[in-house]
């Protein structure tokens, strides 16, 4: 735990103590030691990740994209490595009823130019039917390739809400890594920046000093998973965090014509 410098402060309620620049630098340098240790441990974990074994999957399994059915190996776009995000899908739901968490993840992966420069392709997979996926992708303005993998999830070893990595050797395709939950956070640059701010992510689970602003209580999401963990993923037109008929995943409000509709559309229409 970083110590609070023992110097006179000007107390501002709900804010960090005020010190001079020298005291601030001392506290910041103390934290830097822990940050560097964290970085080195992350590097060691990544080195171990590169040494994981791999599993062959079916590169001929047909996925459906803008050009109709294609073999999964085509998703590599001729490159040897592929990273995918498998977005959740609710059948029959309006755009605003699709998963706010997956929207959050996919929104951050809008450009793969630096992945491509390292010989890695990126695509979004979903188990939704292509005739529903295509207009949603257009509405959201996504430029990355999307494919429906309905019915072939087991053949290519992917699950919704996961980031999955594959390696290609000629026509053979191999699963090398998969992660989900907070394992997806490296793709979400907003979270890393929020973690640098004094108030952090403002999620209910975070440890914060006494008197800090509390995460808004917006009630249980549709489906009832208790207190919200990621309250900012869905909002009404005024930016208020909420679930319910007036809410959408936050980035959707930047799309043309993104007005509230009557229902989130989640009446048992999950693809499973």
Confirm whether 195 is domain-assigned. no
Secondary structure of 92-116 as H, E, C letters:
CCCHHHCCHHHHHHHHHCCCCHHHH
Per-residue model confidence as pLDDT tens digits over 116-168? 999 999 999 999 999 999 999 999 999 999 999 999 999 999 999 999 999 99
What residues have CB less than 8 Å from 35, skipping those under 6 apart?
none
110, 136: one domain: yes
Q: Which residues of the chain have pLDDT under 70?
A: 1-10, 217-232, 266-272
Q: Structurally, how many domains does the chain consist of?
A: 2
Q: Residue 132: which CATH number? A: 3.40.30.10
The SS3 assignment for 178 reads strand
169, 186: one domain: yes
147, 45: one domain: no
44, 159: one domain: no
Q: Which domain holds residue 234?
A: 55-190+215-254
Confirm whether 113 is domain-assigned. yes
143, 176: one domain: yes
């Amino acid at each position: 735990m970083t110590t609070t410098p023992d110097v006179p402060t000007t107390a501002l309620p709900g804010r960090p103590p005020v010190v001079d620049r020298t005291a601030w630098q001392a506290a910041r340098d103390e934290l830097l030691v822990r940050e560097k240790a964290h970085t080195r441990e992350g590097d060691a974990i990544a080195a171990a990740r590169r040494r994981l074994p791999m599993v062959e999957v079916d590169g001929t399994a047909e996925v459906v994209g803008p050009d109709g059915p294609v073999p999964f190996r085509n998703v590599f776009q001729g490159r040897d490595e592929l990273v995918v995000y498998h977005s959740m899908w609710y059948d029959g739901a309006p755009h605003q009823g699709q998963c706010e968490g997956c929207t959050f993840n996919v929104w951050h992966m809008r450009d793969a130019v630096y992945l491509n420069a390292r010989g890695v392709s990126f695509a979004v997979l979903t188990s939704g039917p292509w005739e529903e996926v295509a207009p949603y992708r257009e509405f959201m303005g996504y430029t990355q390739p999307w494919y429906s993998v309905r019915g072939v999830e087991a053949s290519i070893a992917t699950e919704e809400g996961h980031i999955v990595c594959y390696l290609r050797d000629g026509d053979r395709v191999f699963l090398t890594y998969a992660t989900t939950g907070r394992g997806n956070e490296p793709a979400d640059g907003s979270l890393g920046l929020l973690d640098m701010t004094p108030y952090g992510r403002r999620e209910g689970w975070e440890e914060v000093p006494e008197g800090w602003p509390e995460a808004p209580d917006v009630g249980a999401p549709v489906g009832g998973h208790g207190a919200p963990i990621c309250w900012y993923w869905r909002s009404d037109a005024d930016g208020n965090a909420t679930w319910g008929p007036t809410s959408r995943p936050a980035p959707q409000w930047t799309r043309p014509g993104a007005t509230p509709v009557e229902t989130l559309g989640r009446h048992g229409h999950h693809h499973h």
